[in-house]
């Protein structure tokens, strides 16, 4: 059995659904958050769910039961509202990015999976910080910033004490108008892909795993040729085998699909799949056979069958899921 965890900011809850082997969805339960939940993250073994509650500046941790039920472990106050959270590879630390405050933070995680306050790191970067993830070696972190900041901060991460140290160089400035937002590491450890919010594109970077620095090698549009409307990119996800990359287009209302050349890291566009209006949140399930996409405008959730060989998507069903779907996570019981 596979569970889907969806944060619904407008409904102030996390909804849990069951995902069938044929892609069917069944509502399991709703867990009130007492505020507008946004980013979600699992511990490495998926036994603990972390929730950033943006409207109340809180972070909560929950034990995830085999039944899909959630039991709250801890909740701490934050300096600002987190727009992205992730655990390091060891599961000892929780990283978070702060859009309005322009900071990146690191919190400790207790033996019971609970978040510990205050933060180990509360480091100023720039306005509109949007993501923070450790690399495969668990020794490097990048923090992209959208819009007017338009910069990627490069940090060394100490997996023993959770501290961040500015790398050399400390920042990387993309071309004007890009606005790097979220990113994903290729499983080979050689490439990193950022979607550019304002640029409506994806940029591939070579990652120097020793130095922890990035070098761009390709930028590809997420939009079809000839599209002239307003658009911005939101989330980006990769298939587990590292063969396909996906980015959501808000404005064109689609999921952009790219094939990755594992030898060179280069991207080839495989087109766009129509999605619910303003598709911010989406995710690929644990079997890699399905993709779920949420639309902010109408609170719709669309399920797609995913072809593992071509990377292409085929719509299966659409349903109303709730107000402002923000993040999706999947767990097999």
Tokens of 175: 């071309």
| Contact status, residue 48 vs residue 42, Cβ threshold 8 Å | yes
Instruction: Count other C-beta atoms under 10 Å from residue 176's C-beta.
Output: 9
What is the Cα–Cα distance from 81 to 58, expressed in whole angstroms? Answer: 7
What is the Cα–Cα distance from 25 to 21, expressed in whole angstroms? Answer: 10
pLDDT at 4: 98
Tokens of 54: 């943006």
- Average pLDDT score over residue span 315-323: 97
Instruction: Count other C-beta atoms under 10 Å from residue 78's C-beta.
Output: 24
pLDDT at 24: 97
Of the pLDDT bands very low, low, confident and very high (cuts 50, 70, 90), residue 43 is: very high
Average pLDDT, the chain: 98
What string of H, E and C letters represents the secondary structure of 82-144? CCEEEECCCCCEEEEEECCCCEEEEEEECCCCCEEEEEEEEEECCCCECCCEECCCCCEEEEE
Residue-wise pLDDT for 177-218, tens only, equals 999 999 999 999 999 999 999 999 999 999 999 999 999 999
67: helix, strand or coil: coil
φ/ψ (deg, to 5) at 146: -95, 175
Residue-wise pLDDT for 284-306, tens only, equals 999 999 999 999 999 999 999 99
The candidate with the shortest Cα–Cα distance to 149, out of 128, 166, 122, is: 128
pLDDT over 70 percentage in the chain: 100
Its sign, for the CA torsion 112, 105, 141, 256, is positive
Long-range own/partner contacts, residues 12-16 (CB < 8 A, 24 or more apart): 12/36, 12/37, 12/55, 13/37, 13/322, 14/40, 14/49, 14/51, 14/70, 15/321, 15/322, 16/68, 16/69, 16/70
CATH no. of 33-173: 2.130.10.10
Domain boundaries defined on the chain: 33-173
- Average pLDDT score over residue span 26-32: 97
What is the Cα–Cα distance from 8 to 14, expressed in whole angstroms? Answer: 6
pTM comes to 0.98
pLDDT at 333: 85
- Average pLDDT score over residue span 121-139: 98
Q: Given a cut of 90, is residue 20 above it in pLDDT? A: yes
User: How many DSSP H helices and E strands does the chain contain?
Assistant: 0, 28
| Contact status, residue 249 vs residue 261, Cβ threshold 8 Å | no
- Average pLDDT score over residue span 163-167: 98
pLDDT at 304: 98
CA torsion 281→192→120→99, rounded to 10°? -40
- Average pLDDT score over residue span 51-59: 97
Q: Which residue has the tokens 């007017």?
A: 148
The candidate with the shortest Cα–Cα distance to 43, out of 119, 109, 104, 97, is: 109
Residue-wise pLDDT for 206-253, tens only, equals 999 999 999 999 999 999 999 999 999 999 999 999 999 999 999 999
pLDDT at 155: 98
149: helix, strand or coil: coil
């Amino acid at each position: 059995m596979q569970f889907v965890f969806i944060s619904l900011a407008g409904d102030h809850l996390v909804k849990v659904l069951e995902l069938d082997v044929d892609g069917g969805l069944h509502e399991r339960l709703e867990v009130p958050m007492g505020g507008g939940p946004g980013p979600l993250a699992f511990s490495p073994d998926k036994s603990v769910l972390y929730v950033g509650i943006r409207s109340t500046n809180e972070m909560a941790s929950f034990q995830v039961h085999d039944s899909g039920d959630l039991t709250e472990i801890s909740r701490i106050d934050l300096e600002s509202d987190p727009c992205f959270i992730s655990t390091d590879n060891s599961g000892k630390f929780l990283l978070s990015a702060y859009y309005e405050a322009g900071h990146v933070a690191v919190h400790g995680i207790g033996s019971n999976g609970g978040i510990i306050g205050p933060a180990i790191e509360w480091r100023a970067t720039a306005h509109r910080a949007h993501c923070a993830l450790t690399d495969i070696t668990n020794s490097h972190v990048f923090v992209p910033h959208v819009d007017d900041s338009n910069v990627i901060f490069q940090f060394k991460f100490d997996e023993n004490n959770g501290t961040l140290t500015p790398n050399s160089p400390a920042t990387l400035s993309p071309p004007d108008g890009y606005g790097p937002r979220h990113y994903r590491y290729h499983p080979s450890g050689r490439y990193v892909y950022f979607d550019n919010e304002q640029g409506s594109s994806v940029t591939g970077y070579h990652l120097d795993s020793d130095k922890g620095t990035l070098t761009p090698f390709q930028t590809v549009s997420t939009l079809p040729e000839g599209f002239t409307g307003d658009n911005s990119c939101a989330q980006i996800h990769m298939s587990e085998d590292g063969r396909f990359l996906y980015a959501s287009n808000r404005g064109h209302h689609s999921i952009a699909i790219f094939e990755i050349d594992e030898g060179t890291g280069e991207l080839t566009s495989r087109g766009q799949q129509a999605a619910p209006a303003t598709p911010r949140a989406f995710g690929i399930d644990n079997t890699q056979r399905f993709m779920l996409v949420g639309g902010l405008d109408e609170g719709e959730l669309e399920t797609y069958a995913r072809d593992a060989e071509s990377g292409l998507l085929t719509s299966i069903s659409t349903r109303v899921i709730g107000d402002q779907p923000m993040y999706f996570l999947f767990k097999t019981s």
